[in-house]
Structure 1
Amino acid sequence: MSAQPRPTGTVPNPVIPGFHPDPSVCRVGEDYYLVCSSFEYFPGIPVLHSRDLVHWRQIGNALDRPSQLRLPLDQPSSGGVFAPTLRHHDGRFHLIVTNVSDRGTVLLTATDPAGPWSDPLHLPGVPGIDPDLAWDEDGTCWVTVNGIAQVRIDPATGETLGEPQRLWSGTPGALAPEAPHLYRIGRWWYLMIAEGGTERGHGVSIARGRTPSGPFEPCPHNPVLTHRSTARPVQNTGHADLVQAPDGSWWMVLLAVRPRGGTPGWHVLGRETFLAPVEWVDGWPVVGEVPLELPTPSWPLHPVPEVPTRDDFDGAALDPQWISVRRRPAELVTTGERPGWLTLRAAGASLDAPDVVFVGRRQQHHACRARTLVDPAGGRGGLAVRLDEEHHYEIEAGGGEVKVLARVGPLRSEVASRPVPAGAVVLGVEIVPEPPRGSRTGPDTLSFGIEEPDGSFTVLAALGGRYLSTEVAGGFTGRVVGMYAAAGTVHFDRFDYEATPLP
């Protein structure tokens, strides 16, 4: 889905736009599979598939059952599920990940990456976060975590074999060595890590050794990738994973952001998944800059069906793109009560509450719009753009009126209101980048309003987008646009999301 033209002979980067951080990829035959962090959202860990590394389609979520994923209500946003690693070994897919809000590091397996995945196997002896999986020639399974430390495990039982050992930890003095991945390539074992923090100083460094436990010698040209201290439109490049294509070429998937506006630059979509080609020179990977447009790869492209811009909620279950905050109880979220409608029953009284009943999708475009037809049915609910409990905007229907609400840090206010007749009403938001006006230009403007019977759109309030950005709110997530119930039972007949042209 793209509303923007691009140069001939190129493909767009990021290859997975919107809130898709910490990518991990593996190839089986001619198929690529990729997973990302999901933090406080349920279901957790989106699983995507591609035949060409460029076009990706979400085929499921690895953690899609309450028995697999517990996200306590007393844990803040940006907790939960951190940095999975996906690997294929001995005919099965293995996924290792840390739930920082519950049981720590766990291991799951599946024969089909679309699911079902096993219930998590707890790994109590694995410290830290950002766990990686690798097997050596004799079948020993190695887990490497942030820090950078390593321990052997029995993947069948979860037992650790020996004590964790410290390894190479990146450039001396560099902040936050994390996101390790261990590979056997030729005669060497390569240990690739992220460092510099996940903000503007982010980068990727690598070392190599003759055994999976080292000792490791660092690449003389570290970091092999960083955009720090540049004016490039792609920033925060890091947390990468390597994959080899069937033609023998090597590629890197990584997270990065696209800041917009003036100083300091705000990224609102979260950390996204980018792609970069890798060359090997003297036994070391060489990565160029990460552009917004990549040259078209030499192999055939396999476009995938786009995620529908409209969901009429006609199915018995929600599509895998839909996510909720911490949980999705079947008694509170259903498409079965009123055919062709999504029905939400309120728990938390607003988007401020950790148990808000919310169903949303990631914002994936800087210019876009969303609409939903909502029947409050005596309750209250509407359309929201959420970053976390303390940073969200919404337009809400109920009690014979529609109102626009804003929560920014400790401040919550009703920005605008308008009476409406009883019954269903179409609520909408239009998101447009701000025009340049010097260093204080914000990233975008969010205009909330009502769709009139003639199809025109009446704006009730236009709000600055910088307050729904990571640079203001902090944390690790991006914007999610969706529907919620704040009181009683609320029905939604449809949800439309589409990219619009950049101004």
Structure 2
Amino acid sequence: MTYSNPVISGFHPDPSVCRVGDDYFLVTSSFEYFPGVPLFHSKDLVNWQQLGHVLTRTSQLNLRKAGSSGGIYAPTIRYHGGVFYMTTTNVSGRGNFYVYTEDPRGEWSDPVYVDQPGIDPDLFFDEDGSVYYTTAHDAMGQGAYQSRIDVLTGERLSDIRLVWNGSGGQHPEAPHLYRIGEWYYLMIAEGGTEYGHMVTIARSKRPDGPFEGCPHNPILSHRSLRSPIQATGHADLIQAEDGSWWSVFLGIRPYGYPMHHHLGRETFLAPVTWTEEGWPVIGYHGTVAETMPAGTLRLQPGAVPQVRDDFDHSVLAPCWTFLRTPDQENWSLTDKSGCLTLYGSPVTLNEADTPAFIGRRQQHFAGRFAAHLTFAPQHNGEEAGLTVFMNERFHYEIAVACIAGERKLIFRRRLGSLWKVEHEMPWLSEAVVLTVRADQNLYVFEYAEEGKEPAVFGKGECGLLSTEVAGGFTGVFIAMYATGNGERALTPAHFDWFDYEGNE
């Protein structure tokens, strides 16, 4: 049997995984989006279902001042003594911390902060009860730095010391420490999280080194290869219930020339074998394909994705996120029964701030994304609709707006310093179905009155929202939004349903 990569598509970078019996739990980075740290569950390492998020409360996560691609960086999830731990960095807050729970499907604790600089923290529980905290940072020189901590309080029990500076690649980061047999293995990422990305590993007879690098480093990299998968790196190791070894890691799927990608960094999976000398080999001698053999994994049926969200529940589905820490006054699931209601704040999509914005990751190159909007703006500047959003400087909108006292349908593009409403027309109805159709190269924006065929209203190139153009570490979101364009809007925007239909 085979499986397809990526195993979690769209903007889900920096994966970390742990196993409890035959249950696997995986977390990824979330940056400036709230709630933080998406949490997934699987029975087979291939088919993943999102349970929710780890950081769901403002007491855990404050993203008010987070810039684009700020906020929550690479997490690590571990299980020890009946407790789950997730450690991460809020680069826009107090730095490194961890939270814990006995039930990952429930609430996690408030943060326990660790007085150790750097990013991409790792927790390792040794057999003698010692707990090691390893981070990567440049403040003290490039490399992996480590201390022992009291896991009950986060207090450091030792000085911070450099344990390995990698194999020579730039930006050594993402350390993970393991004990496998008689060896302690320290695995990191090097080369930067772009096209030179790679995974390297070292080992020692002690958890604090000295560490000896693998003679076959890097053990994973697609640099300079002609492959549909690029930028592979930032890996974590996991032993399956049957004893086989696997690795999750990030990668991208770029296209065109020069290459560019807009779905973000995604989660991939590869088998791991071991040499006679005791070194891991990821995939095909350090490479991975879109179709891989499942080996001894007992593959489970994948869940059938739900196309329509009718907003009939008391809470949002796990796929929905806010842009930074949300204002409760900006949204409601109860003000109009069966609708998601947005109240436009003064904040626009052009600001690194907290607009009235609820979106989900674009996870397929091709698809149809649509929403039914009821909105009758009465005051100049009031606006609501759909946005295809990379960051505050790169996004497209199709929306209903009040302009000079007239209700209009608009299509707008924001591309760096270039900002333009490219199409507008009077719109008399209070209801409209807004649709975005996508393929690998183009977004097509459509509108329709209820019961009528949609009409094309604008187009935008996907590549102009790519990381290579727009910058940053995230991926494209399809979102519902509302704004008063500098003033708080008085007219609510009611979204009766939202469709996400991926065609891959």
- Category of TM-score, reference length = shorter chain: over 0.9
Q: Residue 32 of structure 1 corresponds to which residue in structure 2?
A: 24
Deviation, 1:453, is 4.0
User: Who is 1:461 aligned against?
Assistant: 458
Q: What residue ranges of structure 1 are gaps of 5+ in the alignment?
A: 1-8, 434-443
The question of 1:14 aligning with 2:10 is answered no
Match of 1:4 in 2: none
Q: Secondary structure at the match of 2:468?
A: helix
Task: Give the secondary structure class of the aligned counterpart of 1:160.
Answer: coil
- 1:377 deviation in Å? 3.2
2:429 matches 1:422: yes
Deviation at 1:420, TM superposition (A): 2.0
2:102 to 111, 114, 119: 111
Provide, for residues 91-140 of structure 1, a one-character-per-residue CA deviation record: whole Å limited to 9, x for no partner.
Answer: 100111110001111110011112200011111x2110000000111111
* Distance in 1 between residues matched to 2:243 and 2:436, nearest whole Å: 45
Change (3 A) 1:106 1:380: same
TM-score by length of 1: 0.93
Q: Does 1:186 align with 2:165?
A: no
Amino acid at match of 1:109: Y
What are the superposed Cα offsets for residues 399-455 of structure 1, whole Å, 9 maximum, x if unpaired?
Answer: 32211111111111101122222311001111112xxxxxxxxxx111111034444
Partner of 1:371, secondary structure, is strand
Counterparts of 1:94-173 in structure 2, within 5 Å, are 94-123=85-114, 125-146=115-136, 147-172=143-168
Equivalence for 2:357 = 358
| Residue aligning to 1:436 | none
- 2:55 is the alignment partner of 1:63: yes
Deviation at 1:296, TM superposition (A): 3.3
Contact 2:314–2:334 (CA under 8 A) maintained in structure 1: yes
Residue 208 in structure 1 maps to residue 203 in structure 2: yes
Q: 1:375 — aligned with what?
A: 374
Task: Say whether the 8 Å CA contact 1:348–1:357 is kept in structure 2.
Answer: no
Shift of 1:392: 0.7
The CA deviation at 1:239 is 0.3
Q: Provide the residue aligned with 1:333 in structure 2.
A: 331
Question: What secondary structure, in the 3-state scheme, does the structure 2 residue paired with 1:467 have?
Answer: helix
Matched with 1:438 is none
Q: Which amino acid aligns with 2:11?
A: F
User: Which structure 2 residues correspond to residues 40-439 of structure 1 after superposition, within 5 A?
Assistant: 40-73=32-65, 75-123=66-114, 125-146=115-136, 147-172=143-168, 174-263=169-258, 265-281=259-275, 282-287=277-282, 288=284, 289-353=287-351, 354-378=353-377, 379-399=382-402, 400-433=407-440
1:361-399 Cα distance to aligned partner (Å, 9 max, x none): 000001111000111232420001111111111111133
Deviant stretches of 4+, over 6 Å: none
CA drift of 1:499 comes to 1.2
- What amino acid is aligned across from residue 239 of structure 1 in structure 2? H
Contact 2:35 2:322 (8 Å CA) reproduced: yes
Q: 2: distance between equivalents of 1:298 and 1:189?
A: 26
Letter in 2 for 1:144: T
Contact 2:242 2:296 in 1 (8 A): no
Matched residue SS, 2:210: coil
Rounded Cα–Cα distance in structure 1 between residues aligned with 2:373 and 2:482: 10
Distance change (3 Å), C-alpha of 1:240 and 1:128: same
Counterpart CA distance in 1 for 2:186 and 2:134 is 9
Aligned positions, number: 479
TM-superposed deviation, 1:11: 1.7
Question: Which amino acid in structure 1 is aligned with residue 398 of structure 2?
Answer: I
What secondary structure sits across from 2:280 in the alignment?
strand
Contact 1:348 1:355 in 2 (8 A): no
Give secondary structure in 1 for the equivalent of 2:158.
strand
Provide the C-alpha distance between the structure 1 equivalents of 2:394 and 2:208, rounded to a whole number of angstroms.
44
- Residues 128-182 of structure 1: CA deviation (Å, up to 9, x unaligned): 000000011111110111121001111111111121010111112x100000000
For residues 496 and 387 of structure 2, what CA distance do their matches in structure 1 show? Answer: 16
Q: What percent of counterpart residues are identical?
A: 50
Asked if the contact 1:176–1:196 (Cα under 8 Å) also holds between the matched residues in 2, the reply is yes
Q: TM-score, normalised by structure 2?
A: 0.93
2:431/2:450 contact within 8 Å kept: no
Q: CA deviation at 1:491?
A: 1.0
SS in 2 for 1:471: helix
State the partner residue of 2:140: none
**Residue 306 of structure 1: CA displacement?**
3.5
Would you say the 8 A contact 2:433–2:450 is kept in 1? Answer: no
Which runs of 5 or more structure 2 residues have no equivalent in the other structure? 137-142
How far apart, CA to CA, are the structure 2 residues paired with 1:456 and 1:477? 34
Q: CA deviation at 1:500?
A: 2.3
Q: Deviations over 1:13-56 (max 9, x none)?
A: 00000000000000000000000000000000000000000000
Distance between the aligned counterparts of 2:175 and 2:452, measured in 1? 52
Shift of 1:297: 3.7
